[in-house]
């Protein structure tokens, strides 16, 4: 293991930093791609502050939107963990806006991995590539055979991008003879390694800032970032993982339950947390004029059962509870001083 080098794309992302930390702790060498030298130096400092051996970390510059740097980044890497993908703080109006970076980037990474002779590629996808746009007739049971319907009118641009990117990667990997695994988590929360919260922590941040006094009657799956990172590390070498799509969820919480989990962890924020549940008709009316509300309205009254048994059996996935993951997120945001608004940023 000490001689194995792992290419980690989008290494400055929230989940990717945890993957990098766990890979370094496990004795791997890590080559992480970032878009700028500044992001690379910040990543090195973050990992060093968390007691990682950064002498085993290399930084490579590469951007999802360009060809430059990918072949060099993958050269000499035994396995690839592709995590880079655009995750905006707000959904764009153009349904296809995120596809060029997500899909094009995935294809560039698959091609570079195959050219480098990598033995396996693990791709970070999302439940968004599985569970959306099915309509009310769907059973609501979501597993590895399910794909989101990108033609549905209420599917978000993010879900479209994740679905198209993952599907394209599977096709390209098969054509190239590259072993592939996908990891499809629900909403990922948990402790920060630095003061950059990223987009996936926005729900907890908005609640702590008092921006969500009333919430729709919807639920979401949650999973701790440390458990997601451990699944990625396991997928790089686990027997029986190749060719599989692993859904990761620790359990489902309503938005009011999320608020209660935050309040239990950081009681001083309770006055800012959600106090009311919005009537469904209000959410549906909002969806007529607010694009961001359309995908929310589509989830009203739709319960889902997320099948995570394959991840437990093959990857040893044994997650913390969603309440614990949410509490860890709130505590970390407070301790890192990351509750206050930091503006929008591109996450990859």
Positions marked catalytic: 162
CA dihedral 87, 249, 341, 10 (to 10 degrees): -40
Selection from 13, 19, 64 nearest residue 39 by Cα: 13
CB distance 77 to 5 below 8 Å: yes
Selection from 158, 121, 124, 142 nearest residue 292 by Cα: 158
CB atoms within 10 A of CB 341: 9
Report d(CA 84, CA 338) in Å as an integer.
22
Under 8 Å CB-to-CB from 309, ≥6 apart: which residues?
Answer: none
Report d(CA 132, CA 139) in Å as an integer.
12
3-state percent breakdown (helix, strand, coil) of the chain, nearest 5: 45, 15, 40
Which residue carries 């599985």 as its tokens?
A: 130
Selection from 66, 79, 74 nearest residue 36 by Cα: 66
Quick one: DSSP state of residue 289? Answer: T
Report d(CA 209, CA 262) in Å as an integer.
12
Which residue carries 């987009």 as its tokens?
A: 199
Which residue carries 């489902």 as its tokens?
A: 252
CA dihedral 344, 34, 120, 177 (to 10 degrees): 90
Residue 51, SS3 per DSSP: coil
């Amino acid at each position: 293991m000490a001689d194995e080098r792992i290419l980690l794309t989008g290494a400055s992302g929230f989940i990717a930093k945890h993957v990098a930390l766990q890979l370094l702790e496990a004795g791997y060498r890590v080559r992480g791609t970032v878009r700028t030298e500044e992001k690379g130096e910040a990543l090195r400092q973050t990992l060093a502050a968390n007691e990682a051996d950064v002498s085993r970390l290399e930084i490579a510059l590469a951007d999802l939107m360009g060809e430059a740097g990918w072949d060099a980044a993958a050269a000499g890497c035994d396995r690839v963990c592709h995590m880079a993908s655009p995750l905006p703080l707000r959904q764009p109006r153009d349904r296809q806006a995120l596809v060029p970076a997500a899909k094009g980037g995935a294809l560039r990474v698959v091609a570079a991995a195959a050219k480098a002779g990598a033995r396996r590629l693990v791709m970070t996808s999302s439940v968004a590539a599985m569970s959306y746009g099915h309509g009310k007739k769907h059973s609501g049971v979501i597993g590895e055979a399910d794909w989101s319907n990108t033609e549905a009118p209420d599917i978000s641009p993010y879900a479209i991008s994740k679905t198209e990117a993952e599907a394209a990667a599977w096709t390209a990997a098969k054509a190239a003879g590259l072993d592939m695994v996908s990891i499809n988590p629900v909403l990922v929360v948990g402790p920060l390694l630095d003061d950059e919260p990223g987009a996936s922590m926005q729900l907890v941040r908005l609640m702590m800032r008092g921006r969500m006094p009333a919430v729709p009657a919807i639920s979401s799956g949650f999973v701790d970032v440390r458990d997601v990172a451990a699944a990625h590390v396991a997928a790089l070498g686990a027997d029986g993982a190749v060719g599989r799509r692993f859904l990761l969820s620790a359990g489902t919480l309503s938005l009011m339950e999320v608020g209660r989990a935050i309040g239990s962890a950081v009681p001083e924020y309770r006055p800012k947390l959600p106090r009311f549940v919005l009537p469904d008709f209000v959410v549906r009316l909002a969806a007529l004029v607010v694009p961001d509300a359309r995908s929310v309205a589509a989830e009203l009254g739709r319960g889902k059962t997320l099948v995570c048994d394959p991840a437990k059996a093959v990857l040893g996935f044994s997650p913390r509870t969603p309440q614990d993951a949410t509490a860890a997120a709130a505590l970390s945001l407070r301790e890192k001083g990351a509750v206050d608004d930091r503006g929008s940023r591109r996450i990859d």
